[in-house]
Amino acid sequence: MSENTALDLASIRAAHARIARYINRTPVVTSSTLDASAGASLFFKCENLQKVGAFKARGATNAVFSLADAEAARGVVTHSSGNHGAALARAAQLRGIPAYIVMPSNAPRTKQDAVKRYGGTVIFCEPTQASREETAQRVLQDTGAVLIHAFDDMRVMAGQGTTAVELLESVGDLDVILCPVGGGGLLSGVAVAAKALAPDIKVIAVEPAGADDTAQSFKIGRFVPGSPPKSIADGLLTTLCERTFAEIRRHVDDVVTVSEAGIVQSMRSLWQVLKLVVEPSGAVAYAAIVENRVEIAGKKVGVILSGGNLDLDKLPWQ
């Protein structure tokens, strides 16, 4: 698919066929203990067990393997402080092409190491959005590589939507899907796929109260960048773009926010009960249940655990 192809079920299914051999079909996990606590039937889609430890492997792999051979030969470039950089480096390594990952100078060493482990070339920049974008543009000009944005790219969004295809193939009669939102790539793809496969399903986005640009934009019906975000859920600190917000307006039913304490409590519960290591961003969707932010009594609820890349030396409850 091209970067300008419409985001629909056909493009998401095509993405699934394209990437299936390169990603994990992650499990859907249940717990009678957590069901009883919630008063609902919960189905956790474990993208924390995905390649590179996050759903980002889906979109990056679809984007890289969508490129024509002549395009791909020049390599790919992105700016990322986290999971997308590693995912793009891995996808490029699988295709045998260069990957140039612009990272802020203060990016965690573990995330720098992940990019390098997959063969990506790290180019450092100042820790500002402007510096990230300017540095990536310079690398583009110097290398002729193709820009693969972390979420403002239809190929990436289609890849992320395969999460919902798998979830609904595993549990076909869900009433609700809870999905975290940062830049909106995962939410856009999930909402489009879910509504196409199950028109009556409710798709509810969840984000930290300290990074609530989606909730604010959704409420007033137009995209407004929020105030500087602050949350333990570092993967959700990116703001939306017009492309993702357009899909969210069309297909998402509601946006709710959760507290920092709720995120931490959810991480602990998932660890203790499901024996799953989930990063703060990945626990946000479940936090909406823990904090009673959604009406789910008696319903079947899909909960997307989007990632598991957690620094075990800095656990938030220590």
Catalytic option among 56, 111, 195, 202 = 56
Question: Are 148 and 173 spatial neighbours (Cβ–Cβ below 8 Å)?
Answer: no
Crossing angle of helices 242-251/154-170, nearest 10°?
30
Residue 227, exposed/middle/buried by CB under 10 A (0-12, 13-18, 19+)?
exposed
Q: Which helix (H) or strand (E) holds 122?
A: strand 121-125
Q: Which helix (H) or strand (E) holds 82?
A: none
CA separation for the pair 173, 171 (Å, rounded): 6
Catalytic option among 41, 188, 217, 306 = 306
Sheet with 254-258, strands from edge to edge, namely 28-29, 41-46, 300-305, 176-180, 202-208, 254-258
Active site residue 306: yes
Active site residue 45: no
CB atoms within 10 A of CB 120: 28
Active-site residue set: 56, 306
